[in-house]
Structure 1
Amino acid sequence: MTPASSPTSRLSINQWSMRSTPCEQFITAVADAGIGSVGLWRQNVAEIGLAKAAALVRDTGLRVSSLCRGGFLTATTPGDRQAALDDNRRAIDEAHELGTGVLVMVVGGLDRGQSITRVRAAIPATIAELAPYAEQAGVRLGLEPMHPMFAADRAVLSTLADALQMAAASGHQSVGVVVDTYHIWWDPQVLESIEAIGRAGRLLSYQVSDWDLPLAADPLLSRGVMGDGYIDFAELTRAVAATGYADDVETEIFNAELWAMPVAEALALVRQRFHALVAAHL
């Protein structure tokens, strides 16, 4: 489904912005709030079953901006590598069934003693094995660079420039890049990189949340609602808009305080901040 044209109608709520809300209730609450799109996670979809989730999305008239996640492609044994490829093909099938064209790829970390350079260098060939299958399903693979503090355990891919290079090295136009403000706001080359990704036709998703301090005990849960932290959403959003990106903008906010709110209240807060700080610059 094509997103509506007005900036405010392009808001998508990622499931993990409302992580404590069960999947079926989450989808229904987003639709009831008049928001047009959701970003879903595989494990949450599995709670109610793929067929039921896909039917619920269709029945409520929602778009699915992305499915999270595929990836974790840095296995060191042939058996583990094959298992990862098989799981990613299942993820592609799930994305297709849910009606989204973007599967978010968190590429994976590394074992102690490994060369991060060698691990990074091997990823494009693995992505290239998946890309034809994704193309047949009408799904694009969105490589998501993550903040360097996650390089060891989650993603050896840390910058947008490296993500673009890796996508191009796969040899497939169906491989692109996810721009997530939480992970890339610090990068001195971020604006130039967004422009280059857009010029290459590889900007697949724009996700927003803020960088808040102090960091939580689990840094993964330190994302703030837009306006609570340090990110200049005007600058980043204008850069994304200048590429011609016209799809949904996903609010992906891992934050325990947000999760503790009643879901209707949390949705209202996120929508208000999105309209004020992001949509104004699309």
Structure 2
Amino acid sequence: MSLENLSINFATVRQAGSFGEIVDACLRHGITSISPWREHVAQAGLAEAARIVAENGLRVTGHCRGGFFPAIDAAGRQAAIEDNLRAIDEAAALNANCLVVVVGGLPKGSRDLPGARQMVEDGMAEILPHARQVGVKLALEPLHPFYAAERACLNTLKQSLDLCDRLGEGTGVAIDVYHVWWDPELEEQVARAGRNRQILAHHICDWLVPTADPLNDRGMMGDGVVDLGRFRAMIERAGFLGPQEVEIFSHRWQARPVDEVLGIIVERYDSVCQADTAA
């Protein structure tokens, strides 16, 4: 079985430790694609993280994360812009396929959801020229509506693709099954993203029933209700044949030994995550 199209998001295996330790764990299992978080890069130092990536021939499927544009005042919005510009430079240094952008929710004390969405669009427009200049694509990640107030005021693929269309070149979407599997317009919008080559990343996990904690109780692939084979077939029909990036925020999985977790991921990637050709 080839693991060429299996990527590990560092959020899945935080228990492994540092940037280098997570990479070592992935390599022990034959996994050579990763998606680091900025905290791991900062801990290692950007130059050291880039060295580890280059010397091990790793593919960086995404850098997590940019975004969080809305703020209560101009100073806060400017600080977010500056932080996103730094994130873009980090993604460039790591030769990442994209910078994943979780756009942010309502500013503290606000009830103005349209206003927050406008701040997101303004912020994206501000950072996009630099991203284009250094060759980093910006992947908007719509989050489940549960997160609309505090994490992401873009909650459907349609909203995200509409914004990409207004912004233009250098933008696209990260399609995470956890956040969009429920969407009645999913197939139509995935096809739309494919036509315009706007699928920049594909994240996988599963939705558990019941879910104890919408943030930290994501399921291992095959343990929940998402038909991952059909989902992957939809993605591939849209023209995206790139990696499936495993991103599992879960206290229960992060309490288990990292090699056990990675071993199960490899098995499930083979048994439940391959495209259903009958779909």
Instruction: Answer yes or no: is the 8 Å Cα contact 1:107–1:157 preserved in 2.
Output: yes
Distance 1:155 1:274 in 2: 28
1:124 Cα deviation after fit: 2.0
1:122 Cα deviation after fit: 3.6
Q: Which runs of 5+ in 1 are unaligned?
A: 1-5
Which residue does 1:91 correspond to in 2?
87
Which residue does 1:193 correspond to in 2?
189
Distance 2:122 2:191 in 1: 25
Instruction: Answer yes or no: is the 8 Å Cα contact 1:73–1:126 preserved in 2.
Output: yes
Which residue does 2:151 correspond to in 1?
154
Distance 2:165 2:53 in 1: 33
Q: Which runs of 5+ in 2 are unaligned?
A: none
The partner residue of 2:204 within 205, 208, 214 is 208
1:110 Cα deviation after fit: 0.3
Which residue does 2:16 correspond to in 1?
21
Identical aligned residues as a percent:
40
Q: Please, what TM-score do these two structures have when normalized by structure 2?
A: 0.94
Instruction: Answer yes or no: is the 8 Å Cα contact 1:213–1:222 preserved in 2.
Output: no
Which residue does 1:109 correspond to in 2?
105
Instruction: Answer yes or no: is the 8 Å Cα contact 1:7–1:280 preserved in 2.
Output: no
Which residue does 2:238 correspond to in 1?
243
Distance 1:173 1:140 in 2: 9
Distance 1:157 1:194 in 2: 16
1:269 Cα deviation after fit: 0.3
Distance 2:2 2:228 in 1: 14
Partner AA of 1:139 in structure 2: V
Counterpart secondary structure, 1:131: helix
Q: Please, what TM-score do these two structures have when normalized by structure 1?
A: 0.93
Partner AA of 2:118 in structure 1: A
The partner residue of 1:60 within 56, 61, 64 is 56
Partner AA of 2:49 in structure 1: A
Aligned residues: 275
Counterpart secondary structure, 1:220: coil
Which residue does 2:126 correspond to in 1?
129
The partner residue of 2:215 within 220, 228, 242 is 220
Partner AA of 2:216 in structure 1: L
* RMSD (Å) for aligned C-alpha atoms: 1.5
